[in-house]
Amino acid sequence: MMRVVLIDSGGANIGSVRYAFERLGVDARLSADPETIASADRVILPGVGAATAGMTRLRDLGLIELVRDLQQPLLGICLGMQMLFESSEEGDVECLGLMPGRVRRMPGWPGLRVPHMGWNTLQMQREDPLLAGIGDGSHAYFVHGYAAPVSDDTLATSEHGEPFAAVVRRGRCWGAQFHPERSATVGARLLENFLSESLA
């Protein structure tokens, strides 16, 4: 039985992410215990809210170095993805540094609201096991006002005024800016792929 652990990062979406795994037949355990997290087969870093609060919670729980040192697959979701990067403009905070780059506030454009909320399309940049079976132009559900830059680590982009990184990977770390738990079949497929043996 695969052991999946959701880091108790205090995000409002944790319950719905856990339920999304339940729909796949997986009991994703919510934990802030270092031993439980370190012994998991898959680790999820969820998050909703501000980068400063998210990093402060990880620091208060004594989990920053643990997360940086994990060797198993790690998936950051929404704010959790942003915290994988070196830093964020949101509160000018240092993040986990598992991916190069700085998360920046999305620019306002005429006729476009920030934060970016709602369904948007994914443009595939390169193949990866996390995106198996998810086609170019697939729709995913976003809620965010800050975004990571497009880089060599970007697997898929989306666009809100300008392109931004929607799915990223560097080594054992993946991130999804959109909410898989709210993205219907696309989100379920991404989570299913994250559990796949082909990912490790």
Give the Cα separation of 75 and 84 in Å (integer).
9
Mind listing the pLDDT tens digit for each residue in 32-56?
Answer: 999 999 999 999 999 878 899 999 9
At 200 the pLDDT is 67
**Which one, of 20, 10, 66, lies nearest residue 43 by Cα?**
66
Is 179 among the residues known to form the active site? Answer: yes
Q: CB–CB of 171/190 below 8 Å?
A: no
Catalytic: which of 162, 181, 192, 197? 181
Mean of pLDDT over the chain: 94
In this structure, the strands spanning 74-77 and 173-176 are parallel
**Is the previous residue joined to 115 through a cis bond, with omega within 30 degrees of 0?**
yes
Is 160 among the residues known to form the active site? Answer: no
| This prediction's pTM | 0.96
Give the Cα separation of 153 and 32 in Å (integer).
28
Whether 11 has a pLDDT exceeding 70, the answer reads no
Whether 199 has a pLDDT exceeding 90, the answer reads no
At 15 the pLDDT is 82
Catalytic: which of 116, 144, 160, 179? 179
Mind listing the pLDDT tens digit for each residue in 135-175?
Answer: 999 999 999 999 999 999 999 999 999 999 999 999 999 99
**Rounded mean pLDDT of 17-39?**
94
At 12 the pLDDT is 60
How many Å separate Cα 12 from the centre of its chain? 14
At 159, phi and psi to the nearest 5?
Answer: -140, 130
Work out the burial of residue 78: count CB atoms within 10 Å of its CB; fewer than 13 is exposed, 13-18 middle, 19 or more buried: buried
Mind listing the pLDDT tens digit for each residue in 56-91?
Answer: 999 999 999 999 999 999 999 999 999 999 999 999
Angle at 59 between CA 64 and CA 80, to 5 degrees: 65
Number of domains in the chain: 1
Alpha-carbon separation of residue 152 from 94, 97, 101, 128, 168 (angstroms): 21, 16, 11, 13, 9
Segments forming the whole domain that contains residue 194: 4-199
CATH number of the domain to which 96 belongs: 3.40.50.880
Is 78 among the residues known to form the active site? Answer: yes
| Look-up of token digits 């792929």 | 193
Catalytic: which of 78, 95, 116, 160? 78
Contact partners, residue 110, CB within 8 Å, separation at least 6: none
How many CB atoms within 10 Å of residue 80? 27
